[in-house]
Chain A
Amino acid sequence: MQRTRSMYLGAALPPRGGPSATLQVPPHHLVTHGVVLGMTGSGKTGLLMVMVEEALQSQVPVIMIDVKGDLPNLLLAFPTLEPREFGGWIEAHGPPDAPPPDDLAEQLANERLGQLKAWNLGLDDLRRFRNGTDIRVLTPGSTAGEPLHILSSLERRSTSWDTDPEAGRAALSAAISLVLRLLGKDPDPARSREHVLLSILAERRLAQKQPADLGSLLDEVLTPPIERVGAMDVDDFLSLKDRRNLAAALNTLLASPSFASWRQGVSLDIREWLAPRNGRTPAIIVSVAHLDDDERTLVLGVLLEEILAYTRSLPGSRRLKTLVVFDEVYGLLPPHPANPPTKRPTVALMKQGRAFGVGVVVATQNPMDLDYRALSNAGFWAVGRLQTDADRERVVDSLANVTEIGSSAEEVSNLIRRLGPRWFLVRDVHAKPNTALLQPRWAMSFLRGPMTLGDIRRALAGAAQGRVNGASAGVGLGTPGG
C-alpha cells in the first residue's frame, strides 16, 4: 500500500519572521534518522509522542524504547473525550488545590477537546487513530505488561544463524552478557573468561541446530565437549574449580523465581512484533524504566542487536518501513571511548538502517553525552530549550553549517537561546527551506507523565475491559510467545 500521508507535527514559523504554516513531514524524511534535544520542560516528550502518533497514522510500525516511563502514555489516547476516561489519571495530573476529581475530569476533557480542535483535530481523528493502532507494552522482568523472554536469542535458535551469523553472534553475546550480569560476574565479552566459554559452547550448539538453553550449557560448563579454548586447554583457560563455581551460579539462577521473569513471555522476534494484526499498525513499547541502569543497558543491548539483525534481513527500501524511537538516549550512545552494549547496535542501525527503510529517532535532555559522530548523518534535528551554554555550544556546531539561515554559529545559538517552552528549531535536510521554528501540535495521547508498572497494568486492564467508550480497544495484550 502506498503511504503518501505526511506527518503533521504542528505549526511552523520561518526563523527570520513571516507567516505561519502547518509543518508536514513526509515519513521517508525520517529514514535518515532524527534527533530531538531539549531540557526538562522543553516539550521534547510531547514532540516525540506527536511523531509517534503521526508515524502510526501513516501506517509505519513503531518500536518505542521507553527509558523514562513517558511513552506508555500512548495508551491514554482516549478515542472519545468522555470525562470518565480520565477518571483514574486525574489525581496524578491535578495540583493539590484543584477542584474535585469529577469536576477536574470534565474540565480536562473540555480543555483537551478545545485544544485538539484548535489544532484541527477532532473526535473522528482520535477514533481513527485508536482503531488503526495495535499498542503492546512489553515489560522485561515484569508481568505488568507482556513479559519479554530477553534470553530467547540464547535459548531459542534464531533463523538469523542461517542468514546472518554475525548478527546471531552479536545477539548471543549480548544475551550472555546479561546472564553474567545477573550472576554478578563480569559481563564484558572482551575480558570475561566465563563469557568466552559460554559463547563458544552456545555457538557450538546453535551451529548444530540445537538450542543453547542454560540447562544444557550448565552441563557443558562442567563437562566441556571441547578440549581447547583458543591455544589453551580448557582446564587451563578456566579451571575446573572456576567452572564449578560458574555452574553453581547458573544453577542458582535457573532455580530462582525472580529469574524466571526474564525467561518467560514474548520472544525477541521483531518480525512477529511488527506484523500487523487485524489490519492495525503495531506500536511496540518496550518499557525498561523499572530496571536499574546496568540491567537496562544490557537488556537494551540484547534488544537492539535483534532489531539490527531484523533490519539487515529486510530488502532495500527508501520508504520508512519501521521507526525506532528512544525517549532518552543518555548513557546508551555516549561519546568515545565509552562503549556500553547499546552503542554498537545503535550506531550500526543509524549507519545501515536507512538502506532498509528503518529510521531511528533519539531524544535526550543531555546533549553533552552523545556520540555526535554517530548522529552526524541524522537528517532531522529538533532542538528545544537547552539548559546551559555548554549544551548549546555542543549542539550549535552540528547545526550551524547546514542551515539556510547562514553559516553563523552565533545566529543558531541566539535562536536556540531565546526559544520559549514547547518551541523547537527544526532542521530537515530533505525539506526546502530546511529550517523552521516548530511548535508541536497537542498530542492525542494524554501526557500525564511517567507511568509506573502499576500504571501500565491499570491502563492495559482498563483498555482490555472496554472502558474505551464505543470503540474497540486498539490495544493488544498479545499472546505470550513461544
Chain B
Amino acid sequence: MAQPNPIAADPVAATHPAAVAYEQLLAEIRAVPESELIPINIDVVTAVSTVLGVLPEIRALRPEIEAEWRRFDFDTFDKLEQYTLALHQAHALWRGASVPKTAVADMASELTSIRDLLLKNAEALATFHLVDGERLKECKTQPGYRPLATDVATLVEVIRERWSAVEGKSPLTLPQLNEYAGKAVELLTSIGLKEQAPAVIGDAATVRQKAFALFIKAYEDARRAVLYLRAKTGDGDDIAPSLYAGRTRRKPNGDEPVAPPPGAPAPNGSARDASAAPDGNQPVQFQNTAGLPIGNPFTS
C-alpha cells in the first residue's frame, strides 16, 4: 500500500531538498528487490550527516577516479547526494509513521523548544544580515502542530541556505539543523498518518530499508574508490570514513595491497610481499592427510 505523503501538502516541507530528492527517487527506491535489502544497524541521521559533510571532498576526486577507471559506475557516484537526502526523508517519514498517538504531543513540545531556539539564533543572525530576516516574519504567526513543523522547516532552511556565512558565528551545527528538519518531518508525518492503518507503517519501513540499501551501495562504492586512490597518501579513511561506528581506522601503507573497486582493472606494479597472507591471486596448497571427504575450501 503506497504511503500517502502529508509532506506534499505542505508547501514549505515539500520544497525541502530531502523531500525533493525523495520524490524524485521514490520509483527507483521502490524497485530495489528484497534480495538486496540490508538490515539497518547504524544510526541513519549520523550516517546522513557524515556523508553530506564529506561529499564535497569525495566529489573533488571525481576527475582522478575517472582517469583511473573508465568503467566506474558514475551514475551511482553522481547520485550519492540524492540517495543520502532521500534516505534522510524516508527515515523521517518512517519515524513519523511509527509514532504512537500519545507521543505526538511530546514531539510537539520538543519541537516548540527547537523552534524557539532556532528563531532566537536566526533573529540574531538577521541583525547582522547573515540570513534573510524577511522570512522570519512568517514564523510563530499561527497556532497548531502543522504551522509549528512548518516554522521549524523554514527556520532550518533560512539558516542552512547561508551556511557558508553562518558557520562559526552560531552555536548551531549542520548535523543539528539536519536533525531538527527531520523532527519537523516526523511531526508532520505523525499528524497526517495517525489515523492510518498499520500497513502504512510497514510500507514506510520497507521504503526506508530500500533507500538505505541504495545509499549504502553508492557510498561504499565511492569509498572503495577513494581508499584505493589514496592508498599511498593514507588519508582515504579521513576523506570517506566508514559509517560503522567503533571501527579502528585502517591506515593502508604502500606495502599493504588494497582491493580495487568493482569493475576496475588490477593496478600494475603494486607492492606484493612474498610472505603475504593469501589473497585472490596466490594459490594455496592443501593436503588431505586426514582422508576426510573434503574439497577445495575456496571458490576462486
Binding site for B on A (CB under 8 A): 10-11, 13, 15-22, 115, 118-120, 186, 330, 334-335, 366, 368-370, 372-373, 388-391, 393-394, 397, 401, 405-406, 408-411, 413-415, 418-420, 423, 437, 439, 441
Contacts and interface: CB of A to CB of B under 8 A. Distances in A.
A121 to B, nearest CB: 11
Interface in B277-300: 277-280, 284-290, 292-300
A20 B289 contact: yes
Contacts of A11: 290, 292, 294
Contacts of B285: 17-18
Contacts of A15: 277-278, 284
Given A19-B289, A390-B38, A410-B257, A419 B277 contact: no
8 contacts: A118-B293, A368-B40, A389-B220, A390-B220, A397-B248, A411-B278, A418-B300, A419-B298
Interface of B: 38-41, 100, 216, 220, 242, 244, 246-248, 250, 256-259, 276-280, 284-290, 292-300
Contact of B293 (A115, A419, A437): A115
Given A334-B41, A335-B41, A394-B244, A13 B297 contact: yes
Contacts of A115: 293
B256 A408 contact: yes
Given A21-B290, A410-B259, A366 B39 contact: yes
A388 B216 CA distance: 11
Given A410-B258, A410-B259, A414-B278, A22 B292 contact: yes
B297 to A, nearest CB: 4
B161 to A, nearest CB: 32
Contacts of A410: 256-259, 279
B298 A420 contact: yes
Given A335-B41, A410-B257, A16 B297 contact: no
B57 to A, nearest CB: 21
A-B pairs with the 6 shortest C-beta distances? A411-B277, A369-B39, A19-B289, A11-B292, A17-B284, A118-B293
A439 B278 contact: no
A368 B299 contact: no
B245 to A, nearest CB: 10
A366 B38 CA distance: 8
B129 to A, nearest CB: 41
B259 A20 contact: no
Nearest to B286: A13
B277 A408 contact: yes
Nearest to A10: B292
Residue among B38, B40, B256, B276 with the most chain A CB within 10 A?
A: B38
B294 A439 contact: yes
A390 B119 CA distance: 41
Contacts of B287: 18-20
B279 A414 contact: yes
A196 to B, nearest CB: 15
Contacts of B290: 11, 19-22
A406 B286 contact: no
Contact of B41 (A369, A419, A441): A369
A186 B100 CA distance: 10
A411 B258 CA distance: 10
Residue among B276, B286, B292, B300 with the most chain A CB within 10 A?
A: B292
Given A11-B292, A19-B289, A20-B287, 18 more contacts: A11-B294, A15-B278, A17-B285, A17-B286, A20-B288, A20-B289, A20-B292, A22-B292, A118-B292, A186-B100, A372-B246, A390-B38, A393-B244, A394-B244, A409-B250, A410-B256, A411-B277, A418-B280
Contacts of A420: 295-299
Contacts of A414: 259, 277-280
Contacts of A335: 41
A22 B294 CA distance: 11
A411 B100 CA distance: 47
A136 B263 CA distance: 53
B42 to A, nearest CB: 8
Nearest to B287: A19
Nearest to A388: B38
Given A393-B244, A397-B247, A419 B299 contact: yes
B140 to A, nearest CB: 32
A404 to B, nearest CB: 11
Contacts of A20: 286-290, 292, 294
Contacts of B247: 397
B292 A119 contact: yes
A16 B279 CA distance: 10
Contacts of A419: 297-299
Residue among A19, A20, A419, A437 with the most chain B CB within 10 A?
A: A20
Contacts of B284: 15-17
